[in-house]
């Protein structure tokens, strides 16, 4: 089909200049889904601060940039060296995407057991597009414009499928690197992870780019876990502070499945990481952890929706933020316990450390419960540096800056410690400690 152009009445209006230039590969159902998504945006516009879930994060900055959709082709400056710097090579299978498109020269697909299919969305669109119908056809993000935009523009990303009882020991790395030099690209990676019954694997997503580039990563990752499957998902968002990052991680879990997400937010000018989990099968378990460390003028928004549909499911959330300079953090966590979801065990905790009078955090843990037989807790805390601890450390000889760094690092360390992949943990520890100055490093042994 040829390019459709739907007038999009966006706040800033510039994103409307984007229009999907489909190339005829699109099948009827896909073209239709894309058109529907675009029309949805046309009708509903972009979210504003009047929307509950977008209340705290200003999008003006994003909407003001005249983004263009990223096409295929290598970035002008990207090298393997840059990629390895941005995302430590964990040694296992690794898919690298540059500006949202698969880059075979930087990727490695060896070492996978036979029950693991690790390929790209573009390849599946080419060879067996109908497999994508349950994903690209149903638009998990229909109710907000950015997810819908991803529906419209998604062309590539990872496609991963683990068949029954497949166990992949090595972590599978997905690296999304942007190299947009002067052109404000909007990339729309779309990844699909399907874990059949009893399968287990670890996925690590990293987002990075080059300082000074203005671009927007608008990503959707869908994870579907069948009975007793287990996926450990890591996400490191370290885009340059000139970039924008909008993400939706959509998870559906069947009986007895386990999903764990660990998110580390470091980069971007404005970043929003939304996670939606639907616990559809009994005894499913999900744990969501995150740290966010906005400084300068950065905005880091974590929006979470955990939907307890089935009985006896468990969900845990622990998010910690350290906010410096004029940094702004958002924790917007919503737990829904549906009618009949008896035996639910849900908890949610958000803790923040403000390093500065001008830093800001909006924290809103929410519980919505429609059944009696539940165990739910939630809590939010916002604190400042403990002056008494600071003095104590200084009287023992630690210079002020080291003492501050040590206390900040102590605050986030428990989160870094939850990262079980050793090389990843070490590299994140280094990233986080560099951020908090020379005094910050591993403080437990």
Please pick, from the candidates 168, 406, 424, 428, the single residue that binds other proteins as defined by CB under 8 A: 406
In this complex, which beta carbon is closest to other proteins, that of residue 376 or of residue 380?
Answer: 380
382 touching other proteins, by CB under 8 A: no
Q: With contacts defined by CB under 8 A, name the span among 83-91, 144-152, 157-165, 396-404 that binds other proteins.
A: 396-404
Q: With contacts defined by CB under 8 A, name the span among 240-248, 264-272, 329-337, 408-416 that binds other proteins.
A: 408-416
430 touching other proteins, by CB under 8 A: no
Smallest distance from the beta carbon of 22 to other proteins, in angstroms?
A: 52
Distance CA 206, CA 97 (A): 10
In this complex, which beta carbon is closest to other proteins, that of residue 371 or of residue 402?
Answer: 402
319 touching other proteins, by CB under 8 A: no
Q: Which of residues 409-428 bind other proteins (CB under 8 A)?
A: 409-411, 413-414
Q: With contacts defined by CB under 8 A, name the span among 15-23, 171-179, 331-339, 387-395 that binds other proteins.
A: 387-395
Smallest distance from the beta carbon of 323 to other proteins, in angstroms?
A: 18
Smallest distance from the beta carbon of 392 to other proteins, in angstroms?
A: 5
By the 8 A CB rule, do 284 and 320 touch? no
The single residue listed with the structure tokens 């509950």 is 52
In this complex, which beta carbon is closest to other proteins, that of residue 60 or of residue 417?
Answer: 417
Smallest distance from the beta carbon of 121 to other proteins, in angstroms?
A: 41
Please pick, from the candidates 398, 425, 426, 431, the single residue that binds other proteins as defined by CB under 8 A: 398
Q: Which of residues 178-207 bind other proteins (CB under 8 A)?
A: none
Q: With contacts defined by CB under 8 A, name the span among 126-134, 137-145, 286-294, 383-391 that binds other proteins.
A: 383-391
In this complex, which beta carbon is closest to other proteins, that of residue 345 or of residue 414?
Answer: 414
Distance CA 106, CA 86 (A): 13
Please pick, from the candidates 375, 400, 420, 430, the single residue that binds other proteins as defined by CB under 8 A: 400
385 touching other proteins, by CB under 8 A: no
Smallest distance from the beta carbon of 440 to other proteins, in angstroms?
A: 11
Distance CA 299, CA 60 (A): 12
Phi, psi of 280 (to 5 degrees): -95, -25
Cα–Cα–Cα angle for 165, 171, 261, nearest 5°?
85
By the 8 A CB rule, do 255 and 283 touch? yes
By the 8 A CB rule, do 241 and 270 touch? no
Residues 6+ apart with CB under 8 A from 267: 207, 208, 237, 238, 239, 240, 241, 243, 245, 298
Please pick, from the candidates 50, 114, 182, 396, the single residue that binds other proteins as defined by CB under 8 A: 396
In this complex, which beta carbon is closest to other proteins, that of residue 76 or of residue 399?
Answer: 399
Please pick, from the candidates 81, 105, 372, 388, the single residue that binds other proteins as defined by CB under 8 A: 388
* Interface size with other proteins, residues (CB under 8 A): 26
Q: With contacts defined by CB under 8 A, name the span among 59-67, 163-171, 341-349, 382-390 that binds other proteins.
A: 382-390
2 touching other proteins, by CB under 8 A: no
By the 8 A CB rule, do 70 and 187 touch? yes
381 touching other proteins, by CB under 8 A: no
386 touching other proteins, by CB under 8 A: yes
By the 8 A CB rule, do 309 and 281 touch? no
Q: With contacts defined by CB under 8 A, name the span among 22-30, 36-44, 397-405, 428-436 that binds other proteins.
A: 397-405
Please pick, from the candidates 393, 421, 424, 428, the single residue that binds other proteins as defined by CB under 8 A: 393
339 touching other proteins, by CB under 8 A: no
In this complex, which beta carbon is closest to other proteins, that of residue 107 or of residue 413?
Answer: 413
433 touching other proteins, by CB under 8 A: no
Positions touching other proteins (CB under 8 A) are 386, 388-389, 391-400, 402-403, 406-407, 409-411, 413-414, 442-445
């Amino acid at each position: 089909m040829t390019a459709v152009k739907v007038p999009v009445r966006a706040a800033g209006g510039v994103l409307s200049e984007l229009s999907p230039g489909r190339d005829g590969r699109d099948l009827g159902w896909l073209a239709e889904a894309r058109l529907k998504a675009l029309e949805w945006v046309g009708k509903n516009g972009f979210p504003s601060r009047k929307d509950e879930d977008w209340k705290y994060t200003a999008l003006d900055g994003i909407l003001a940039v005249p983004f263009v959709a990223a096409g295929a082709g290598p970035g002008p400056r990207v090298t393997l060296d840059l990629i390895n710097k941005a995302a430590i090579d964990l040694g296992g299978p690794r898919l690298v995407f540059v500006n949202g498109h698969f880059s075979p020269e930087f990727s490695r697909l060896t070492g996978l057991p036979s029950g693991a299919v690790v390929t790209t969305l573009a390849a599946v669109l080419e060879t067996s597009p109908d497999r994508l119908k349950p994903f690209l056809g149903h638009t998990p993000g229909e109710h907000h414009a950015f997810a819908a935009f991803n529906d419209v523009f998604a062309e590539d990303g990872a496609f991963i499928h683990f068949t029954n009882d497949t166990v992949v020991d090595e972590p599978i790395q997905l690296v999304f690197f942007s190299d947009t030099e002067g052109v404000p690209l909007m990339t729309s990676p779309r990844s699909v992870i399907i874990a059949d019954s009893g399968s287990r694997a670890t996925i690590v997503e990293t987002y990075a780019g080059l300082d000074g580039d203005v671009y927007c990563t608008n990503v959707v990752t869908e994870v579907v876990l069948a009975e007793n499957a287990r996926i450990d998902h890591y996400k490191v968002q370290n885009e340059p502070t000139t970039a924008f990052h909008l993400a939706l991680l959509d998870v559906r879990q069947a009986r007895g499945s386990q999903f764990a997400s660990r998110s580390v937010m470091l980069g971007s000018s404005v970043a929003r990481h939304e996670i939606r989990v639907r616990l559809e099968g009994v005894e499913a378990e999900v744990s969501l952890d995150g740290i966010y460390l906005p400084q300068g003028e950065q905005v880091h928004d974590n929006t979470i929706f955990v939907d307890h549909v089935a009985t006896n499911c468990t969900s845990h959330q622990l998010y910690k933020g350290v906010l410096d300079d004029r940094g702004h953090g958002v924790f917007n966590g919503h737990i829904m316990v549906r009618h009949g979801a008896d035996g639910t065990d849900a908890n949610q905790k958000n803790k923040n450390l403000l390093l500065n009078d001008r830093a800001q955090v909006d924290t809103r843990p929410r519980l919505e419960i429609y059944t009696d037989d539940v165990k739910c807790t939630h809590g939010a805390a916002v604190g400042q540096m403990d002056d008494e601890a600071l003095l104590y450390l200084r009287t023992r000889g630690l210079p002020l800056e080291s003492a501050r760094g040590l206390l900040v690092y102590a605050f986030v360390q428990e989160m870094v410690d939850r990262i079980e992949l050793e090389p990843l943990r070490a590299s994140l520890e280094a990233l986080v400690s560099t951020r908090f100055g020379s005094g910050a490093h591993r403080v437990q042994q």
